[in-house]
């Protein structure tokens, strides 16, 4: 596009409007297919363009000259031509990772004179040529990891005087001597060379000392020798040699122990090192202050620590070493430690005197272990500031467990099994600032915080079993700023429940059982004068009319800036006319997906400072649903979102007094006409999003088409309509005829990815079984199955409502649950077979069975289901034919044998040829 004009024939313009794929911004004009423009709240004229995951085979063109951040990752681009990036001298960040680039023409990047970050990772580049990086004088970060690099030509880095970081991880480089061009960069500080083919690291292969380099990563190279006869890295501070030495005969030689005296951080994890070698290595790193020794084999822990804990060592990482028990002798050599990380060591017991010698410890992390209790073992750590105990099996906290920890600032107890917390538990934690108790089983906090902690600033109780918030529950927490109570079962909030929280700024109450009755008493939020953000989304608040409320719920929240009431589970239906009374400083209001059909003219009369309004996914099909008078009190509104609201017209914007509006999003509606008057009433408009509407193709839209296409201050960003039509037809065809084959392929691929990922990581399983069931069977699961298997048999079960991670995609939660459990138990009923999510769960579980060739699936039929009724669910039918299964006893039948067989099924060996027949029944 030249001269800033958009050239488009009138017929193409009409076709474009008809297909309703339009985002319009008022700036210099250009047309760019498929890409997304990121607009910050305050649009400055500098563009961030996202063209990722668009299946491009070449660099999209033309690109606007004012682009500063361009992302073209995850496409199918094979090469970069000389003219692909012309006129982009303002570009600062360029991401072309995850393509198929094997060829970059000489000087193709030379116009990018202001480029600072270049990401070419995950491509097929074999050679860094002399002219590849020409002109990039301001480049500071270069990523070429995960390519096929074999050669780096001389002088290829000669002009990169500002380069600070180079990542060459996961390539085909074999010899350190071939890195000479990189090592000539004068100001290089970080160099990543992990996962190449280096077998020998010899200082003689590097021609001269490399001053300035502070961080060197050589991890995952098959090193057989590490020899330093010269001090080539005089400024080195960080050295990663993890997963390098895989044989006990590796040659380690340092001519002068002073060569590596500057190294402060050393990673020797997952190596095979002999005892005498470890002695020699430790002497070569006499100044190390932080060391990682994860997954070392062949050492007794006491021997390892005697050699590793030098007088200078202050931080020690000991992950995946299967310590099991922390005895009273283990940490004696490490008396000067400040940080100790013991993640994933299957620790189930700590001696009372285990930490007696660690009086200087300030940070202790024992997460992802098997602790069930603490028994006051931490009292001897008076200087502790950070304590991480999450992902254990702690059920009870004693009054002495945190005694004497007066310096503690952060305490992480999430994802345990805590039910009750006595008032005495936190009484000594006067300086505690952050307390994370999410994903436990806490039933009440009444009395828990009677004694503080007085300096607590953040309290996270998300995803527990709280049913009510009593009066003055948090009264002693005067310093609290953030309180998270989302994903509980809160129904009742008593008057003055949050009284005393005079510094509270953020209150999260989303995803509970709060109703309009819960907020009927206006004193619910009394005593919290400084709340800035309140989230009550995803609850059960609903009003039958717009009539004034006798007690508006937010009357005491005059300092509130952000209010989220979106996505009420039964639909808010109506917003009472004085619902927002008292919110004189409200700026952002989220009211999407509430099944609202219209707004009262006084809805926003109490919120004169509103700048952002989200009304998306409501039902404003009625022509009078929105009127100009509704918006007249909020003349400072800057951004409004009205997507998926069944709008037929934007005429309500005329006379609405929205002279400050800069961003209007009204995509996926039923708009047919945009007239000149509407645009004229929005003088500050910079972004207009009208995607997925159905404009009429007649003269009534002539002005809008002419304005969108010919106005040189209008930028049109649109999708290729013909491609969209073809794509829609293909998707419809595949969904109708090949739906289950596609589902099969998707979950097979998902199983493959999870298998690969877990083979590279620990095999530690968090649960004995993941229970897959339909919500209709939840009472039986909670009242019978859980007490039997967890209470009586001591198994650890994974349940949707209790153990799924909030905020994470449901399908990701399902995959993690299945692969983190020894078995998956499917409770089959008619409702189960009809459930989409239950179908996903059994698909993932059956593909794990297929992929791992282990008996990881247990079928339990809670109802009689004839074979012919399984036919539509052919995957289930095949499973039943191949797998043994259990049948729940009918009322009056003996149940003891059923529970014993189910326990055996969960605990039985996983090899398919060794499995036992539990029920003797086959279909």
The three-state DSSP-derived secondary structure of 708-772 is HHHCCCEEEEECCHHHHHHHHHHHHHHHHHHHHHHHHHHHHHHHHHHHHHHHHCCCCCCEEEEEE
Does a structural domain hold residue 254? no
Q: Which uninterrupted H or E stretch holds 128?
A: strand 127-128
The token pair that represents 497 in the structure block: 């429940």
Quick one: average pLDDT of 334-351? 96
Q: What is the pLDDT of residue 18?
A: 39
Residue 300 has pLDDT above 70, yes or no: yes
Phi, psi (rounded to 5 degrees) for 128: -95, 105
Query: Could you tell me which residues are beta bridge partners of residue 612?
Result: 588, 639
User: Which residue's structure tokens are 């003269």?
Assistant: 699
Query: Could you tell me which residues are beta bridge partners of residue 151?
Result: 127
Quick one: average pLDDT of 34-63? 78
Of 134, 151, 167, the position where a domain reaches its end is 167
Where residue 844 falls among pLDDT bands split at 50, 70, 90? Answer: confident
Contact 226, 252 (CB under 8 A): yes
Q: In Å, how far are 626, 692, 709 from 668, measured between CA atoms? A: 17, 4, 21
Average pLDDT score over the chain:
86
Nearest-angstrom CA–CA distance, 86 and 88: 5
Residue 395 has pLDDT above 50, yes or no: yes
Q: Strand runs (DSSP E) across 480-545, as ranges?
A: 482-484, 492-493, 506-508, 533-535
**Minimum mean pLDDT range among 211-220, 432-441, 841-850:** 841-850
**Buried-exposed string 281-298: b where 16+ CB fall within 10 A, e elsewhere:** bbebbeebbbbbbbbbee
Does a structural domain hold residue 574? no
Q: What is the pLDDT of residue 723?
A: 46
Select from 487, 436, 431 the least CA-distant residue to 458.
Answer: 436
Residue 21 has pLDDT above 50, yes or no: no
Q: What is the pLDDT of residues 861-880, one digit of tens each?
A: 888 877 666 644 445 545 55
Nearest-angstrom CA–CA distance, 832 and 838: 6
Does a structural domain hold residue 856? yes
Q: Is 544 or 7 the better-scoring residue by pLDDT?
A: 544
Nearest-angstrom CA–CA distance, 718 and 591: 28
Q: What is the pLDDT of residues 384-394, one digit of tens each?
A: 999 999 999 99
Residue 451 has pLDDT above 50, yes or no: yes
Q: What is the pLDDT of residue 696?
A: 75
**Buried-exposed string 564-576: b where 16+ CB fall within 10 A, e elsewhere:** bbbbbeebbbbbb
Domain CATH number, residue 747: 3.40.50.10140
Where residue 63 falls among pLDDT bands split at 50, 70, 90? Answer: confident
Nearest-angstrom CA–CA distance, 477 and 484: 14
Does a structural domain hold residue 239? no
Q: What is the pLDDT of residue 774?
A: 86
Chain CA centroid to CA 666, Å: 28
Residue 25 has pLDDT above 60, yes or no: no
Where residue 5 falls among pLDDT bands split at 50, 70, 90? Answer: very low
Does a structural domain hold residue 112? yes
Nearest-angstrom CA–CA distance, 889 and 882: 22
Does a structural domain hold residue 88? yes
Domain CATH number, residue 161: 3.80.10.10
Of 148, 167, 186, the position where a domain reaches its end is 167
Q: What is the pLDDT of residues 600-657, one digit of tens each?
A: 999 999 999 999 999 999 999 998 999 999 999 999 999 999 999 999 999 999 999 9
Q: What is the pLDDT of residue 785?
A: 87
Select from 284, 159, 279, 304 the least CA-distant residue to 227.
Answer: 284
Select from 606, 519, 599 the least CA-distant residue to 560.
Answer: 606
Select from 711, 596, 604, 714 the least CA-distant residue to 657.
Answer: 604
* DSSP 8-class letter at 285: T
Q: In Å, how far are 8, 774, 868, 912 from 826, measured between CA atoms? A: 58, 9, 19, 18
Quick one: average pLDDT of 72-96? 95
Quick one: average pLDDT of 261-272? 95
Contact 198, 221 (CB under 8 A): yes
Rounded to two decimals, the pTM is 0.74
* DSSP 8-class letter at 790: I
Does a structural domain hold residue 124? yes
* DSSP 8-class letter at 800: H
Contact 856, 848 (CB under 8 A): yes
Quick one: average pLDDT of 341-352? 96
Which residue range forms the structural domain that includes residue 74?
44-167
Select from 216, 286, 297, 288 the least CA-distant residue to 256.
Answer: 286
Quick one: average pLDDT of 300-318? 90
Contact 560, 530 (CB under 8 A): no
Contact 371, 398 (CB under 8 A): no
Chain CA centroid to CA 3, Å: 43
Quick one: average pLDDT of 329-353? 95
Q: What is the largest CA-CA distance in the chain?
A: 88
Q: What is the pLDDT of residues 911-921, one digit of tens each?
A: 433 333 333 33
Does a structural domain hold residue 441? no
Residue 720 has pLDDT above 60, yes or no: no
Helix, strand, coil fractions of the chain, as percent rounded to 5: 20, 15, 60
Contact 217, 192 (CB under 8 A): yes
Helix (H, G, I), strand (E, B) or coil at 50: strand
Residue 14 has pLDDT above 70, yes or no: no
Nearest-angstrom CA–CA distance, 686 and 640: 12
Contact 367, 341 (CB under 8 A): no
Of 143, 167, 191, the position where a domain reaches its end is 167
How do beta strands 23-26 and 687-689 pair?
antiparallel
Where residue 744 falls among pLDDT bands split at 50, 70, 90? Answer: low
Select from 316, 274, 317, 279 the least CA-distant residue to 299.
Answer: 274
How many degrees, rounded to 5, is the angle at CA 550 between CA 546 and CA 553?
Answer: 85
Structural domains in the chain (count): 2
Q: What is the pLDDT of residue 850?
A: 57
**Minimum mean pLDDT range among 188-192, 251-255, 464-468:** 251-255
Neighbours of 237 (CB within 10 A): 16
């Amino acid at each position: 596009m030249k001269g800033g004009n958009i050239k488009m024939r009138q017929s193409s313009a009409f076709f474009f409007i008809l297909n309703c794929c339009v985002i319009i911004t008022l700036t210099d004009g250009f047309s760019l297919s498929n890409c997304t423009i990121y607009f910050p709240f305050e649009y400055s004229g500098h563009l961030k363009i996202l063209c990722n995951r668009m299946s491009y085979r070449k660099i999209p063109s033309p690109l606007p000259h004012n682009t500063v951040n361009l992302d073209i990752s995850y496409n199918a681009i094979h090469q970069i031509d000389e003219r692909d990036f012309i006129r982009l001298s303002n570009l600062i960040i360029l991401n072309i990772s995850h393509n198929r680039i094997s060829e970059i023409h000489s000087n193709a990047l030379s116009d990018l004179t202001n480029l600072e970050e270049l990401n070419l990772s995950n491509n097929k580049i074999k050679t860094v040529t002399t002219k590849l990086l020409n002109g990039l004088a301001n480049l500071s970060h270069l990523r070429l990891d995960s390519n096929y690099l074999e050669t780096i030509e001389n002088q290829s880095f000669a002009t990169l005087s500002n380069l600070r970081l180079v990542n060459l991880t996961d390539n085909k480089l074999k010899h350190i001597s071939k890195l000479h061009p990189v090592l000539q960069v004068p100001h290089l500080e970080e160099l990543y060379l992990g996962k190449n083919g280096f077998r020998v690291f010899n200082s003689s292969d590097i021609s001269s000392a490399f001053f300035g380099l502070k961080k060197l990563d050589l991890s995952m190279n098959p090193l057989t020798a590490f020899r330093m006869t010269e001090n080539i890295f005089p400024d080195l501070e960080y050295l990663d040699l993890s997963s390098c030495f895989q044989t006990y005969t590796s040659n380690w030689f340092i001519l002068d122990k002073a060569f590596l005296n500057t190294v402060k951080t050393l990673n020797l994890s997952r190596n095979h090192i002999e005892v005498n070698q470890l002695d020699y290595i430790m002497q070569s790193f006499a100044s190390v202050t932080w060391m990682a020794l994860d997954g070392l084999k062949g050492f007794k822990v006491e021997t390892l620590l005697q050699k590793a804990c030098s007088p200078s060592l202050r931080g020690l990482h000991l992950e995946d070493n299967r310590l099991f028990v922390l005895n009273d002798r283990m940490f004696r050599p490490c008396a000067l430690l400040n940080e100790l990380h013991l993640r994933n060591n299957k620790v189930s017991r700590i001696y009372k005197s285990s930490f007696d010698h660690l009086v200087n410890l300030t940070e202790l992390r024992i997460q992802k272990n098997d602790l069930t209790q603490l028994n006051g073992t931490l009292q001897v750590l008076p200087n502790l500031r950070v304590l991480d105990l999450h992902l254990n099996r702690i059920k009870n906290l004693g009054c002495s467990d945190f005694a004497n920890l007066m310096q503690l600032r952060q305490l992480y107890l999430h994802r345990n099994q805590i039910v009750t917390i006595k008032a005495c538990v936190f009484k000594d934690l006067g300086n505690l600032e952050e307390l994370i108790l999410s994903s436990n089983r806490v039933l009440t906090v009444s009395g828990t915080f009677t004694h503080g902690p007085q300096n607590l600033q953040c309290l996270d109780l998300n995803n527990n079993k709280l049913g009510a918030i009593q009066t003055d529950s948090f009264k002693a927490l005067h310093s609290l700023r953030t309180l998270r109570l989302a994903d509980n079962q809160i129904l009742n909030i008593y008057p003055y429940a949050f009284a005393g929280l005079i510094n509270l700024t953020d209150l999260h109450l989303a995803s509970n059982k709060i109703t309009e009755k819960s907020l009927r008493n206006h004193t619910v939020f009394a005593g919290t004068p400084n709340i800035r953000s309140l989230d009550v989304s995803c609850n059960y608040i609903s009003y039958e009319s717009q009539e004034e409320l006798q007690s508006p719920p937010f009357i005491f929240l005059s300092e509130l800036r952000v209010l989220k009431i979106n996505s009420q589970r039964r639909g808010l239906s109506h917003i009472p006319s004085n619902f927002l009374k008292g919110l004189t400083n409200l700026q952002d209001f989220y009211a999407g997906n509430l099944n609202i059909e219209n707004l009262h003219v006084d809805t926003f009369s109490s919120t004169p400072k509103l700048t952002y309004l989200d009304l998306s996914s409501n039902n404003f099909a009625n022509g009078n649903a929105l009127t100009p008078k509704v918006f007249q009190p909020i003349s400072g509104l800057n951004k409004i979102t009205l997507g998926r609201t069944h709008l037929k017209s934007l005429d309500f914007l005329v006379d609405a007094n929205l002279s400050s509006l800069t961003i209007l999003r009204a995509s996926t509606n039923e708009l047919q006409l945009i007239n000149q008057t509407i645009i004229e009433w929005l003088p500050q408009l910079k972004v207009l999003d009208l995607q997925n509407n159905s404009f009429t193709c007649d003269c009534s839209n002539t002005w809008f088409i002419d304005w969108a296409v010919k106005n040189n201050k209008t930028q049109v960003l649109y999708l290729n309509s013909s491609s969209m039509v073809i794509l829609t037809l293909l998707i419809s065809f595949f969904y109708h005829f090949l739906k289950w084959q596609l589902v099969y392929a998707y979950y097979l691929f998902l199983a493959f990815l999870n298998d690969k990922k877990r083979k590279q990581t620990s095999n530690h399983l968090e649960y004995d079984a993941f229970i897959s069931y339909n919500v209709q069977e939840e009472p039986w699961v909670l009242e019978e199955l859980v007490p039997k298997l967890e209470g009586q048999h001591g198994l650890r079960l994974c349940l949707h409502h209790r153990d799924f991670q909030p905020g994470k995609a449901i399908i990701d939660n399902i995959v993690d649950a299945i692969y983190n459990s020894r078995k998956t138990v499917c409770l089959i009923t008619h409702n189960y077979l009809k459930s989409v999510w239950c179908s996903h769960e059994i698909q993932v579980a059956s593909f794990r069975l297929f992929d791992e060739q282990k008996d990881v699936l247990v079928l339990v039929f809670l109802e009689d289901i004839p074979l012919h009724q399984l036919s539509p669910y052919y995957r289930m039918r095949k499973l039943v034919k191949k797998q043994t299964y259990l049948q729940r006893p009918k009322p009056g039948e003996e149940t003891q044998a059923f529970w014993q067989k189910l326990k055996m099924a969960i605990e039985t060996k996983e090899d398919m040829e060794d499995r036992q027949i539990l029920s003797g029944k086959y279909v």
